[in-house]
Amino acid sequence: MSLTARDIAVRALRDRSGNITAHLERLLGEGGLSGVDRGLAHEITVGVVRHRSTVDAILRSYLHQRKKKVPSPVKEILQVAIYQIVFLQKVPAFAAVDEAVKQIVRSHHKRQSGMVNGILRTMIREMNAPIAEALEPAPAENIIPLGDGRIRRMGRTIFHDPQTRPHDYYAQAYSLPPQLTTRWIDAFGEETARDLMRHTLQRPPLICRVNTLKTDIASAIAALAEDGIEAIPHENGLSVILPNAHGLTGLAAFAAGLIQPQDPTATKVVASMKLKPGMRVLDFCAAPGTKTTHIAERLGNEGEILAVDVSRGKLSRVTENCERMGIDIVKTILADEAAQHLELRTYDAVLLDVPCSNTGVLARRPEARWRFEDAAMGKLIKDQQFIAMAGAQFVRPGGQLVYSTCSIEHDEDQHVAKTLAKRADHLHLKHEERTLPTGSAETPEQWYDGGYFATFQG
């Protein structure tokens, strides 16, 4: 029997290796689904990941024994059905219930079909209003934020009391680890923290930097139109937004190297560097080459860029992107070999785009929220400090170093930059910039992921 979109979603959600979205892509790659069903499978899977705590809170509120563990795959089948019923407008509720019951029967858990049917039908019966288009009201125990200003009112208490247990309420309502909601409320205040949490639930637009070695904004938009793809300029003047594009790598404009997926906050990092043709640039943690290729554009494809990363697989992605975009000034080297082959204090510019917690890009990388742990931050920060000090050794007198993350955590950003300024006495901290996530589906031309960069002068 061929798999349905909902079957694919359940199988992807059962992945225990830590990368549900990668598992989803493997399943979709096996073929058999129409374009519409592929889109539905992707929407459901990523939607459950993005709203997992909320979906699980809804499920618990309808269980007779709230603390009872629901076995797999019954749990995933219920998650898929609840997401469709609560969050999606175009999927009829009865269709989601009917398919869930059929999935239970096919999964050899037929005895659970009555429970599944009862939970879902009771939930539908109790939802006392359709999805509301109004602005989100004040936090409440029975109001589900859908992430784009819309809400769904439920017929019973779903969340912890936002007045007496605000951190736990936000963790459930906005599907984030309690450690992260606590951090954000403490760091930004409740109002700004709530805006950040709401942003993590948004569906991010596809934004691409235009390769200035080959084209310009207007010409790229025209080339995409030939592919039948609508594109509009971003306010940064360097990027275009593809509101309705699916399957970017199949587009002629992508294959020809005219565009490169990159959020404007990341684009801002290289755009801030003082680069000119002929420079020697060292790019640490370079894969997949998004910033590497941007540096090459800024150099006019004249000079030398050495891209460094920890594996040949990662470096091959840098090479592939360079070839696609018509760039031939990039060489690659493994991180383990860099210290043996590079001369100290000889590079005009060094970019350190370090691994981080990804808290600035949770809308774009929904699974990253579930990997966030305070306990892991200590090692992450040590690694960032090590990379920063390693890269600092290669900046020539008068050169520049840029440290960047896609995090909005002080520990990974300002703290690491200040530590580097103290330890590397030949470098001077000149500029810091943190961007908080902003923008929406209604204003994609103003969309920015969160991130941070610091500029040092040698």
Instruction: Report pLDDT for 1.
Output: 61
Among 105-109, 221-225, 376-380, 415-419, name the one with the lowest average pLDDT.
105-109
pLDDT digits (tens, 9 = 90+) for 9-33: 999 999 877 689 889 999 888 878 8
For the stretch 83-103, pLDDT in tens is: 999 999 888 999 999 999 999
How much is the pLDDT for 91? Answer: 86
Per-residue pLDDT at 89: 85
Q: Are residues 45 and 150 in the same domain?
A: no
Same domain, 122 and 189: no
User: Residue 133 has what pLDDT?
Assistant: 64
d(CA 138, CA 143): 9
CB under 8 A, 24+ apart: contacts of 219-227 = 219/258, 220/253, 220/258, 220/259, 223/252, 223/253, 223/256, 223/258, 224/251, 224/253, 224/259, 226/252, 227/251, 227/252, 227/253
Confidence of residue 129 (pLDDT cuts 50, 70, 90): low
Say if 381 falls within a structural domain.
Answer: yes
Domain stop point among 126, 157, 186:
126
* Residue 427 forms part of a structural domain: yes
What is the C-alpha separation between 454 and 452, in angstroms, rounded?
Answer: 7
Last residue of a domain, one of 200, 221, 240: 200
HSE-up of 311 (CA within 13 Å, CB side)?
4
CATH number at residue 311: 3.40.50.150
Place 135 in a pLDDT band, splitting at 50, 70 and 90. low
pLDDT of amino acid 30: 86
Q: pTM, whole model, 2 decimals? A: 0.95
Q: What is the pLDDT of residue 134?
A: 60
Mean pLDDT of 407-417: 98
Q: What are the φ/ψ torsions at residue 456 (nearest 5 degrees)? A: -115, 145
252 domain residue, yes or no: no
| Same structural domain, 97 and 40 | yes
Domain total of the chain: 3
Among 78, 96, 126, give the residue marking a domain's end: 126
**139 and 162 Cβ atoms separated by less than 8 Å:** yes
Same structural domain for residues 355 and 422? yes
pLDDT at residue number 423: 97
What is the distance between the alpha carbons of residues 108 and 105, in angstroms, rounded to a whole number? Answer: 6
CA nearest to 443, candidates 220, 224, 231, 205: 205
Find the domain containing 49 and state its range: 5-126
Q: What is the pLDDT of residues 101-112, one digit of tens each?
A: 999 999 988 899
Within this chain, do residues 299 and 443 fall inside the same structural domain, yes or no? yes
Is a pLDDT exceeding 70 seen at residue 278?
A: yes
What is the reported pLDDT for 296?
98
Distance CA 329, CA 23 (A): 35
